């Protein structure tokens, strides 16, 4: 297997917040109801008089510096040569250190098995030349799988973080984003810049 | 040994996704989108991927039950034999007593779009003239509006959006209701199209638009008229189209001349300058296509709103051209034979005289449950199928009261819905994976066979089997009671119903649709021939005067907030709301409130809030969002918790249209006003 | 190569034959040195001394690297090295005094393989000697190319194997040890892992610039994900010795890098790993130390176990750190976004300027009164008192955490 770094490319300008990715993963991986390996969160903040709203879909980011791999007492994590971080169920003792260590809350303890579980990039599908469930499910191709090493040729204009979100980059997550674009908004009740703050309504 | 079956989601949705179902030892082990589907390209929605949870839901009931006292929860398992015998006896009893079956009422809607569910209507046609709940809580208003303007509802196929230079999405949140079409919207944008969203709420779709116009709910009509006025004044019109293909232009123009733009601005709360910019965009970008959602029509002026918006397409000549027209809905892909619906009752049956020496069913508008007991003769027997009116009809409490007062209520469904709780008999219906059926999409016109992937769970049966067996029991107890051809099996029915569509699908038997994607062959561009189906043969402009209506503002009174029920990605009406996973995914049921409103009411994120009006109250945790304007509060349809029924505070208000095509006025779900208090 | 004479010297023909017979670079170097009667040093592309033959007995000692003075040659950018076949001169400061030397670049257009250095002044060489040097440099070019090709293959194997060890990517420990032995790893622990950040185009150079020996065995130099990674065997070293040895090692390495024009170097060192199978942890620690060191400008070298309060903070679950930042600074971040202001930057500079109004205003190029009103706004938004040390500490820590978010590395 050639060495590379698999990762995700996420386009907030296309994501609809429809959660098909989450459920396709849950169905494909046969997860118990209520257990998900992917999360979609709505981001909302104000910029000037405009309201910025977008959705963010994240799972394990298969970090270059995986904290799970560092902190797991059972050495249950490994990183393949293609950069996919895998978790070995047979070594896991369910301590949850990985859950606490991950900035993206990627590994979770599955209550039905008492062991950690996390996104494995559908490596078995990948090895068969297929794409991960989440990527295949996206109706608008907002989520794509990429090769971070060859990112520049695949998607030249990408950024490492999205506006308004605090993310720790120290683990070097293998996710890139398209920069967020916003259209024009005609709002009925536009908040004048700083209105809320001037009135002391904090 | 694994088997793969072809299925299609039968929920009432634009996408009608084709599904590949994997079955092992008689159990479905996985479902995936079918990549041969040219509209979905093989992706399903969040709900679709959760179908397994629906089929094997812990709360699914797979045997008939009888409730000892409505609403008591004292259910007793009974056999099919007992259930059907007792129900049949009830019907026989009613006919014997009243010499008519008018006290029998059928309430059926689109819980499944499967063709076989028409057997329910067929069965009731076969026993006599009954009382039929008609109309559509969803599309009645819009269908009437477009029929008045165009003569019929016709739409372009989904891909025609790629030809548009301007896409106006009006009162619709396809990001959550039709995600697959968003692919085409984005692709069109990449080709250079501008995307405008007009919506009271900054939805997921609005957030991705090039221009979002936040409109005061219920004033779509005024905004469209305002834009029209500017188009006329600045001559941004297609004079030739208007002159050759329309009717009523002079009076429409006159009424526009009377219109005061400042009044439009104050009604819609969109500034005049912005209305002008929007008008310029519409007038200068051709082709323009308009996507009309359900939002506009669920207001009291929704029909006029639809027509006023359609007029914008007519004024600018965006009708009958590629990349133009209105994306709403069409029934043209449903050109079935009508074998079920044309079943005749036995000779001598009596109903409501139709004035031509025949009888017909008595009709009552959908959702108007309170009327059932005041009719003469009153309703003694109600059959509810493919519908959950307690959750879906306005004023849930009135629905519950009506159900409680009717002597016999039969509910056929997959689980004990909030309606089923008020039933006397619960009949377990098989999921659509458990019987062969056909679904034809009203959006992309794709026609697909839904194969039987597994045996019906437990004792459950398809609606068709239930109706057929009831006909058998009835005729055994009272020979000749039903004319339902009980020896005809489902395959024969499907073949008969589909026959008229075969040439349009290029097939000779419906089973040829297995493993291939076929669409009902409808014109790529509707109205290309400019032959409108109105009596005049022309496009009919809305001619009603503008001024009086614009001054008619809604009563606010004690309830200053408009309650907008909005659609979630996690549910389809009340379907899927019992999924544990969906409840979690949608971040719990919430009442969405603007932070300003929250501040004035002392509400914070997560605070439990009582939302109340003259009809009742619901209590939900608050979710704060700037996407909701301060004078609006919103609750996701179907995301209400199990014991909370959103519609218990939704008022039953008629829209302005609906009777023409659907037999009953539409329902103005968006005209409810409430107040809030933290609890 | 510029061959003015057009005549093949006998020695050249012989050297080619010897090379074909399997003789190595030192042997051919010896042939050349003996023939011209001068000291000859052959280096590779990174100036590592591969052979030194000194028939004239200068008695001078040469280190691992030859301090080739290539001033004015435009650095050693790929493809921009000096013309081959041309003799240049230089001076070498040795313990025996300044020595003159003449050198010739060994390479082909676009690729440098090394240098042939002759210890004498240019005028001491006659035309024939120069021709012999030029011709034998051709032989050495072939030898160097062969050895580099083998080195590249070896590096590839090593990189893959080291990747697997450091990322836990193996199934059987037995197979792991077996493979390590074949690749001539010193399997005796404990180990130290050093992760080094250098500009991407310098990676292949930098990995070859490390000292050849550390604590009696050869260090492993490898490249993983755009970092040079070094594995050192610490066998038989006491804790104090480890510190000293690592210090010496890194100093030498940094010296070599600087000499070869490799700039912007940062290193991270993990805690000591007892076994081969613990290396992955030390590797991750080294990377954390590296990243933190880069963000907090903590010098060229950061040791994980010396990260002080930073390590203390970053051993907390990352999720909590994010929440902490949100809680402490969330309001001014939101305010900055909405109002397009720079409150966050203001408070950061304010703390960096030790809460000195005058200095801070200067650093921000704003009027002191503007600064005061900004600070007041910050206090009002955060509900903090900027005179209270506990409040300041919270803000400081939150800012430190936030810094890791703004960090941009090259792609």
Three-state SS letters, B86-144 = HHHHHHHHHHHHHCCCCCEEEEECCCCCCHHHHHHHHHHHHHCCCEEEECCCCCHHHHH
Taking the CA of residue C335 and the nearest CA in chain A, the distance in Å comes to: 8
Phi-psi region for residue B582, left (φ > 0), alpha (ψ -120 to 50) or beta?
Answer: alpha
CB B320 within 8 Å of CB B525: yes
Q: Are A60 and A106 in contact (CB under 8 A)?
A: yes
- Specify the pLDDT at position C181: 87
Residue of A nearest to C331 (CA): A202
On whether the CB atoms of residues B461 and B83 are closer than 8 A, the answer is no
Q: At what angle do helices B490-498 and B463-477 cross, to 10 degrees?
A: 110
Phi, psi of B7 (to 5 degrees): -125, 170
Q: Which of C47, C207, C188 is nearest to C116 (CA)?
A: C47
Please state which architecture CATH assigns to domain C167-309: 2-Layer Sandwich (3.30)
Q: What average pLDDT does this structure show over A85-90?
A: 96
Stretch B167-191: mean pLDDT, rounded? 97
Backbone angles phi, psi at A167, to 5 degrees: -135, 140
- Listed residue (C39, C188, C60) closest to C117, CA to CA: C39
Q: Model confidence over B467-492: pLDDT tens digits?
A: 999 999 999 999 999 999 999 999 99
Give me the pLDDT at residue C183, please: 84
Residue C10 pLDDT grade (very low, low, confident, very high; cuts 50, 70, 90) = confident
| Helices vs strands, H then E, count in chain B | 22, 29
Query: Which pLDDT score, from 0 to 100, does residue C75 have?
Result: 43
Residue A84 — very low, low, confident or very high, per pLDDT cuts 50/70/90? very high
| Residue B141 contacts residue B297 (beta carbons within 8 Å) | yes
- Sequence-distant (6+) residues with CB within 8 A of A134 are A21, A22, A24, A25, A38, A57, A59, A143
Q: Please tell me whether the peptide bond between B589 and the residue prior to it is cis, using omega within 30 degrees of 0.
A: no
| C-alpha to C-alpha distances, A194 to A44, A198, B626, B629, C330, nearest whole angstrom | 17, 6, 15, 18, 16
Residues from chain B that touch A46, judged by Cβ atoms under 8 A, are 626
Distance of CA A183 to the CA centre of its chain: 24
Least CB–CB distance from B269: residue in A137, A140, A188: A188
Phi first, then psi: what are they for C292, rounded to 5°? -65, -40
Query: What is the rounded CA–CA span in Å between residue B207 and residue B432?
Result: 35
Residue C75 DSSP label: T
* Confidence (pLDDT) at A174: 94
Window 104-143 of A, Cβ < 8 Å to C:
105
Q: How confident is the model at residue C407 (pLDDT cuts 50, 70, 90)?
A: very low
pLDDT at res. B581? 62
Average pLDDT, integer, range B440-456: 97
C141/C148 Cα distance (integer angstroms):
10
Tell whether A31 lies on the interface with B, counting CB pairs under 8 A.
Answer: no
| Straight-line distance from the first to the last Cα atom of chain C, in angstroms, rounded to the nearest whole number | 38
Which of C163, C380, C402 has its CB closest to that of A166? C402
Q: Which residues contact C340 (CB under 8 A, 6 or more apart)?
A: A47, A48
Say how many C-beta atoms besides its own lie within 10 A of residue C114's C-beta: 30
Is A102 in contact with C314 (Cβ distance < 8 A)?
Answer: no
Q: At what angle do helices C357-364 and C368-382 cross, to 10 degrees?
A: 100
Least confident of A119-123, A154-158, B62-66: A154-158
Q: Do chains A and C touch (3 or more CB pairs under 8 A)?
A: yes
Rounded Cα distance between B335 and B520, Å, is 9
Q: Is B547 helix (H, G, I), strand (E, B) or coil?
A: helix
Q: Which domain holds residue A159?
A: 6-64+122-198
Question: Which of B377, B386, B380, B313 is closest to B350 using CA atoms?
Answer: B377
pLDDT value at residue C184: 82
Q: How far apart are CA C236 and CA B377, in angstroms?
A: 103
- How far does chain A reach from its first CA to its final CA, in angstroms? 55
Task: Inspect the structure and tell me whether chains C and B have 3 or more CB pairs less than 8 Å apart.
Answer: no
In a domain, A138, yes or no: yes
Residue in the block written with tokens 């303007």: B149
Map tokens 């050849």 to a residue: C212
pLDDT at C77 (0 to 100): 43
CA distance from start to end of chain B: 56
Binning pLDDT at 50, 70 and 90, where does residue C314 land?
A: low
DSSP C73: S
What's the confidence (pLDDT) of residue C78? 40
Please judge whether B43 and A137 are an interchain contact, meaning their C-beta atoms are less than 8 angstroms apart: yes
**How confident is residue C336, by pLDDT bands cut at 50, 70 and 90?**
confident
Contacts 24+ apart (CB under 8 A), A149-152: A149/A4, A149/A5, A150/A4, A151/A7, A151/A9, A151/A176, A151/C411, A152/C411
Segment B65-91 shows an average pLDDT of: 97
- A 10 A CB-CB count for B383 gives 25
Contacts of B173 (CB under 8 A, 6+ apart): B199, B201, B203, B204, B205, B206, B293, B566, B567
Q: The CATH number of C10-147 is which of 3.30.1360.120, 3.30.70.100, 3.40.50.300, 3.30.450.40?
A: 3.30.450.40
Domain residue extents for chain C: 10-147, 167-309, 316-406
Q: How much of chain A exceeds pLDDT 90, in percent?
A: 66
Domains of chain B: 2-55 (3.30.200.210), 65-138+360-519 (3.40.50.740), 156-328 (3.40.228.10), 554-678 (2.40.40.20)
Q: What is residue B546's predicted lDDT score, i.e. its pLDDT?
A: 73
User: Looking at beta carbons, which residues of chain C come within 8 Å of A65?
Assistant: 284, 287-288, 291
Picking from A179-193, B309-323, C16-30, which range would have the lowest pLDDT averaged per residue?
A179-193
Q: Which residues of A touch C401 (CB under 8 A)?
A: 168
Question: What does the mean pLDDT of chain C come to?
Answer: 85
- Tell me: pLDDT of B177 over 90: yes
Contact C338 A45 (CB under 8 A): yes
Find the range with the poorest average confidence among B85-89, B598-602, C260-264. Answer: C260-264
**Domain membership flag for residue A130:** yes
Render B249-278 in DSSP notation, one character per residue. Answer: HHHHHHHHHH--HHHHHHHH---HHHHHHH
Does A142 fall in a domain?
Answer: yes
CB contact under 8 A, C322 and A69: no
Provide the number of CB pairs (under 8 Å) joining chain A to chain C. 107
In eight-state DSSP terms, residue B542 is: -
- Considering the domain C316-406, what is its CATH architecture? Orthogonal Bundle (1.10)
Q: What SS3 state is found at B159?
A: helix
State which of B115-124, C316-325, C352-361 shows the largest mean pLDDT. B115-124
Residue C4, both tokens: 């003015």
Are A20 and B44 inside 8 Å of each other by CB? yes
Q: Per-residue DSSP letters for A135-185?
A: HHH-TT--EEEEEGGGHHHH-SS-BSS-TT-----TT--SEEEPPP---EE
* Cβ atoms < 10 Å from Cβ of C378: 21
Contact A27 B45 (CB under 8 A): no
Contact check, Cβ <8 Å, A26/B581 = yes
- Mean pLDDT for B460-470 is 98
SS3 content of chain A, % helix, strand, coil (to 5): 20, 25, 55
Q: Percentage of residues in chain C with pLDDT exceeding 70?
A: 89
Per-residue pLDDT at C409 exceeds 50: no
Strand A85-87 vs strand C88-94: parallel, antiparallel, or unpaired? unpaired
Q: pLDDT category, B678, cuts 50, 70, 90?
A: very high
Q: Which residues are within 8 A (CB) of C369 and not within 5 positions of it... i.e. 6 or more apart? A: none
Contact B305, B221 (CB under 8 A): yes
Q: Which residues of A touch C173 (CB under 8 A)?
A: none
Q: Confidence band (pLDDT; 50, 70, 90) for B608?
A: very high
Q: Provide the pLDDT for residue B304.
A: 94
* Number of domains comprising chain A: 1
pLDDT exceeds 80 at position B503: yes
Q: Identify from C225, C270, C281, C382 which residue to disrupt to test chain A contact, counting A C-beta atoms within 10 A and taking the largest count.
A: C225
Alpha-carbon gap: A149 to the closest alpha carbon of chain B (Å): 26
B629/A189 touch (CB, cutoff 8 Å), yes or no: yes
In this prediction, residue C80 carries a pLDDT of 41
Q: For residue B555, what pLDDT band results from cuts at 50, 70 and 90?
A: low
Task: Region of C167 please: left (phi>0), alpha (psi -120 to 50) or beta.
Answer: alpha
Q: Does B420 have pLDDT greater than 60? A: yes
**Residue pLDDT, tens place only, B622-671:** 999 999 999 999 999 886 656 788 999 999 999 999 999 999 999 999 99
Distance in angstroms (rounded) separating the CA atoms of residues B224 and B170: 11
Give contacts of B53 with chain A, Cβ < 8 Å: 33
Report the chain B residue with the minimal C-alpha distance to residue A184: B211
Q: Is residue A78 part of a domain?
A: no
CB atoms within 10 A of CB C358: 10
* Contact criterion met (CB < 8 Å) for C407 and A75: no
Q: What's A187's domain CATH number?
A: 3.30.70.20
Whole-angstrom distance, CA of residue B17 vs CA of residue B34: 8
- Determine what percent of chain B is predicted with pLDDT higher than 70: 97
Question: Which residues are bridge partners to A143 per DSSP?
Answer: A10
Q: Count the residues in chain B.
A: 679
- Chain A nearest-CA residue for C161: A81
For β-strands B166-170 and B194-199, DSSP reports them as parallel
Highest mean pLDDT: which of A104-118, B156-170, C331-345? Answer: B156-170
Q: At what angle do helices C25-36 and C127-166 cross, to 10 degrees?
A: 160
**Is A65 within 8 Å of C318 when comparing Cβ atoms?**
no
Three-class HEC string of B418-476: CCHHHCCEEEEECCCCCCCEEEECCCCCEEEEECCCCCCCCCCECHHHHHHHHHHHHHH
What secondary structure letter does DSSP report for A32? Answer: P
Smallest Cβ–Cβ distance between A13 and the set B44, B208, B215 belongs to B208
Residue B318: predicted pLDDT: 98
Q: Where are the alpha helices (DSSP H) in C167-295?
A: 173-182, 203-206, 239-259, 279-295
pLDDT tens, residue by residue, C53-87: 988 777 788 888 888 876 544 444 444 445 566 88
Is residue B283 within 8 Å of B236, Cβ to Cβ?
A: yes
- Identify the band that residue B556 occupies on the pLDDT scale cut at 50, 70 and 90: low
φ, ψ for residue B632, nearest 5 deg: -125, 145
Q: What is the structure's pLDDT at A47?
A: 83
The answer as to whether A100 is a domain residue is no
Average pLDDT rounded to a whole number, residues B306-328: 98
- The residue of chain C nearest to residue A98, with distances taken between CA atoms, is C317
Residue ranges in B15-98 assigned as alpha helix (H): 46-49, 51-55, 80-98
Predicted complex ipTM: 0.94
- The answer to whether the Cβ–Cβ distance between B183 and A30 falls below 8 Å is no
Tally Cβ neighbours within 10 Å of residue B379. 28
- Does residue A200 carry a pLDDT above 50? no
* Per-residue CA distances from B202 to A13, B219, B563, C269 (Å): 15, 16, 15, 50
pLDDT of residue A199: 43
Closest in C168, C407, C409 to A75, CB measured: C168
The angle formed by the CA atoms of residues A101, C329 and C325, to the nearest 5 degrees, is 5
């Amino acid at each position: 297997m050639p060495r590379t770094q698999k990762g995700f490319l996420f386009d907030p300008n296309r994501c609809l917040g429809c959660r098909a990715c989450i459920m396709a993963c849950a169905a494909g991986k046969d997860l118990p109801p209520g257990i998900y390996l992917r999360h979609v969160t709505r981001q909302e903040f104000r910029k000037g008089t405009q309201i910025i709203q977008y959705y963010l879909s994240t799972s394990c980011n298969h970090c270059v510096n995986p904290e799970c791999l560092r902190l797991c007492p059972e050495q249950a994590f490994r990183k393949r040569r293609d950069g996919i971080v895998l978790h070995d169920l047979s070594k896991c003792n369910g301590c949850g250190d990985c859950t606490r260590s991950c900035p993206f809350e990627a590994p979770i303890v599955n209550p039905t098995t008492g062991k950690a579980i996390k996104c494995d990039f559908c490596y078995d599908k990948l090895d068969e030349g297929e794409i991960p469930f989440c990527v295949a499910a996206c109706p608008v191709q907002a989520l794509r799988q990429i090769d971070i090493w060859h990112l520049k040729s695949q998607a030249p204009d990408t950024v490492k973080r999205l506006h308004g979100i605090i993310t720790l980059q120290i683990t070097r997550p293998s996710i890139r984003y398209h920069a967020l674009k916003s259209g024009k908004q005609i709002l009925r009740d536009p908040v004048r810049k700083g209105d809320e703050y001037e009135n002391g309504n904090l | 040994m694994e088997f793969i079956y072809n299925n299609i989601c039968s929920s009432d949705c634009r996408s009608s996704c084709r599904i590949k179902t994997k079955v092992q030892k008689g159990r479905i082990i996985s479902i995936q989108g079918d990549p041969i589907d040219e509209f979905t390209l093989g992706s399903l929605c969040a709900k679709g991927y959760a179908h397994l949870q629906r089929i094997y839901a812990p709360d699914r009931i797979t045997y008939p039950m009888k409730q000892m006292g409505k609403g008591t929860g004292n259910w007793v398992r009974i056999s099919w034999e007992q259930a059907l015998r007792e129900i049949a006896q009830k019907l026989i009893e009613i006919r014997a007593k009243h010499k008519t079956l008018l006290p029998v009422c059928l309430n059926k809607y689109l819980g499944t779009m499967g063709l076989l569910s028409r057997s329910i209507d067929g069965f009731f046609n076969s026993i006599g003239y009954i009382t039929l709940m008609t109309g559509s809580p969803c599309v009645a208003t819009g269908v009437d509006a477009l029929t008045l303007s165009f003569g019929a509802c016709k739409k372009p196929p989904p891909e025609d959006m790629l030809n548009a230079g301007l896409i106006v999405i009006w009162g619709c949140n396809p990001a959550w209701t039709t995600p697959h079409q968003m692919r085409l919207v984005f692709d069109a944008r990449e080709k250079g199209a501008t995307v405008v969203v007009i919506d009271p709420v900054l939805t997921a779709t609005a957030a991705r638009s090039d221009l979002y116009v936040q409109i005061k709910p219920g004033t779509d009509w005024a905004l469209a008229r305002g834009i029209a006025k500017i188009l006329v004044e600045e001559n941004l019109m297609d004079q030739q189209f208007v002159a050759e293909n329309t009717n009523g232009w002079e009076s429409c123009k006159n009424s526009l001349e009377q219109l005061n733009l400042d009044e439009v601005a104050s009604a819609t709360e969109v500034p005049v300058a912005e209305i002008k910019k929007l008008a310029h965009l519409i007038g200068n970008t051709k082709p323009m296509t308009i996507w009309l959602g359900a939002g506009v029509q669920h207001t009291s002026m929704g029909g006029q709103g639809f027509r006023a918006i359609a007029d914008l397409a007519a004024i600018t000549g965006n009708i009958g051209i590629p990349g133009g027209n209105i994306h709403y809905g069409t029934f043209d892909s449903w050109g079935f034979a009508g074998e079920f619906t044309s079943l005749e009752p036995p000779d001598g049956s009596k109903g409501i005289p139709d004035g031509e020496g025949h009888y017909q069913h008595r009709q009552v508008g959908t959702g108007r449950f309170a009327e059932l007991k005041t009719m003469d003769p009153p309703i003694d027997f109600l059959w509810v199928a493919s519908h959950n009116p307690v959750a879906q009809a306005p004023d849930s409490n009135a629905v519950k009261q009506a159900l409680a007062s009717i002597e016999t209520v039969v509910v056929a469904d997959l689980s004990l819905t909030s309606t089923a709780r008020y039933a006397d008999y619960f009949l377990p219906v098989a999921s659509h994976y458990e019987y062969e059926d056909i679904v034809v999409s009203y959006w992309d016109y794709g026609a697909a066979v839904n194969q039987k992937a597994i045996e019906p769970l437990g004792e459950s049966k398809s609606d068709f089997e239930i109706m057929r067996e009831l006909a058998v029991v009835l005729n055994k107890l009272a020979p000749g009671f039903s004319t339902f051809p009980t020896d005809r099996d489902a395959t024969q029915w499907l073949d008969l119903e589909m026959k008229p569509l075969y040439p349009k699908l290029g097939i000779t038997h419906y089973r040829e649709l297995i493993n291939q994607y076929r669409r009902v062959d409808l014109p790529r561009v509707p109205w290309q021939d400019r032959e409108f189906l109105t009596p005049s043969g022309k496009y009919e402009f809305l001619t009603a005067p503008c001024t009086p209506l614009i001054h008619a503002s809604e009563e606010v009174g004690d309830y200053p907030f408009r309650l907008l029920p909005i659609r979630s990605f996690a549910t389809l009406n009340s379907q899927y709301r019992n999924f544990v996973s969906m409840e979690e995914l949608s971040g719990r049921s919430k009442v969405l409130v603007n932070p300003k409103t929250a501040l004035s009411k002392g509400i914070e994120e997560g605070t439990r809030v009582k939302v109340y009006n003259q009809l009742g109250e619901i209590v939900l945790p608050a979710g704060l969002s700037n996407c909701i304007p301060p004078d609006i509060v919103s609750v996701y349809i179907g995301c209400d918790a199990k014991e909370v029924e959103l519609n218990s505070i939704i008022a039953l208000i008629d829209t302005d249209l609906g009777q023409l095509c659907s037999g009953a006025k539409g329902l103005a779900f968006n005209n409810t006003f409430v107040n809030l208090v933290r609890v | 190569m510029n061959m003015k004479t057009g005549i093949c010297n006998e020695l050249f023909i012989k050297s080619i034959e010897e090379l074909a017979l399997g003789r190595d670079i030192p042997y051919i170097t010896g042939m050349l040195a003996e023939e011209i009667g001068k000291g000859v040093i052959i280096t590779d592309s990174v100036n590592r001394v591969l052979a030194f033959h000194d028939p004239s007995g200068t008695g001078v000692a040469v280190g691992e690297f030859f301090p080739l003075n290539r001033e004015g040659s435009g650095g050693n950018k790929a493809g921009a090295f000096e013309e081959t076949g041309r003799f240049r001169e230089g001076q070498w400061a040795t313990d025996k005094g300044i020595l003159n030397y003449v050198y010739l670049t060994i390479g082909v257009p676009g690729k440098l393989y090394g240098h042939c250095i002759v210890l004498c002044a240019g005028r001491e060489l006659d035309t024939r000697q120069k021709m012999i040097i030029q011709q034998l440099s051709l032989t050495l070019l072939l030898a160097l190319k062969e050895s580099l090709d083998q080195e590249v293959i070896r590096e590839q194997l090593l990189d893959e194997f080291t990747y697997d060890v450091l990322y836990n990517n193996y199934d059987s420990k037995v197979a792991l040890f077996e493979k390590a032995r074949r690749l001539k790893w010193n399997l005796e622990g404990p180990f130290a892992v050093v992760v080094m950040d250098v500009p991407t185009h310098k990676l292949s150079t930098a990995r070859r610039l490390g000292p050849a020996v550390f604590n009696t065995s050869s260090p492993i130099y490898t490249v993983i994900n755009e970092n040079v990674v070094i594995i050192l065997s610490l066998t038989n070293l006491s804790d104090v010795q480890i510190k000293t040895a690592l210090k010496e090692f890194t100093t030498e390495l940094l010296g070599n890098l600087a000499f070869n024009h490799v700039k912007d170097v940062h290193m991270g060192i993990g805690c000591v790993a007892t076994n081969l199978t613990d290396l992955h942890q030390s590797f991750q620690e080294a990377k954390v130390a590296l990243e933190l060191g880069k963000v907090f400008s903590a010098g060229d070298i950061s040791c994980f176990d010396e990260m002080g309060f930073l390590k203390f903070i970053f051993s907390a679950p990352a999720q909590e750190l994010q929440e902490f930042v949100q809680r402490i600074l969330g309001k001014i971040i939101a305010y900055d976004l909405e109002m397009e202001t720079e409150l966050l930057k203001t408070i950061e500079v304010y703390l960096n300027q030790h809460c000195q109004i005058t200095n801070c205003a200067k650093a921000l190029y704003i009027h002191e009164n503007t600064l005061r009103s900004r600070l007041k706004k910050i206090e009002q938004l955060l509900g903090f008192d900027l005179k209270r040390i506990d409040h300041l500490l919270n803000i400081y820590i939150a800012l430190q955490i936030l810094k890791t978010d703004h960090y941009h590395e090259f792609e």
